[in-house]
Amino acid sequence: MRLSRSLAPVTVALAVVLSLPYDALSHARVSDGKPPAQSRFGASCRTAVRGSHVVAYCHNPYVDTDRVRLHIECDRWWDIDTDSAPVDAGPAMTVRLTGRCWKEVRSVWISHQRAR
């Protein structure tokens, strides 16, 4: 009698594992040690500052659309910093972004966002 009681939990556990769908079992596997493949995303951008004018060109070589914005920080405290409207750079597309300060430009950067 004791033998059947000790086998009961093992039998139930085996029945549960065998009744699971294949997808549930595949997630329990040990990884092969390789990092997961990263999805390729993001336009490469070039910026140029000439005096108080800024021009940026962003080229998106990937499949996903990249929503890019130009951000300009002006050097003078009274000069208003600007952020451009978002522009969608589709696959294999180059977009041009422009902006300016009244006087000197302190810094320029581009932000990226996945377009859904």
Work out the pLDDT band at 34, boundaries 50, 70, 90: confident
Sequence-distant (6+) residues with CB within 8 A of 91 are 60, 61, 62, 63, 64, 65
Is 34 part of a structural domain of the chain?
A: no
Whether 26 maps to a domain, the answer reads no
pLDDT of residue 39: 74
pLDDT over threshold 60, residue 108: yes
**Is 32 part of a structural domain of the chain?**
no
Q: What pLDDT, on a 0 to 100 scale, did the predictor assign at position 5?
A: 60
Show the domain range for 59. 44-114
Whether 65 is in a domain gets the answer yes
Give the residue-averaged pLDDT of 41-68: 95
Q: What angle do CA 82, 83, 86 make, to 5 degrees?
A: 155
pLDDT at 8: 64
Mean pLDDT over 49-75 rounds to: 96
As a whole number, the mean pLDDT across the chain is: 83
**pTM across the whole model:** 0.66
CATH of the domain at 73: 2.60.40.10
Residue 16 covered by a domain: no
Please give the tally of structural domains in the chain.
Answer: 1
Q: How far apart are CA 89 and CA 97, in angstroms?
A: 11
Q: Which of 31-35, 50-54, 59-63 has the lowest mean pLDDT?
A: 31-35
Q: From CA 71, how far away is CA 89, in angstroms rounded?
A: 16
What value does the mean pLDDT take over residues 65-72? Answer: 96
**In this structure, is residue 101 part of a structural domain?**
yes
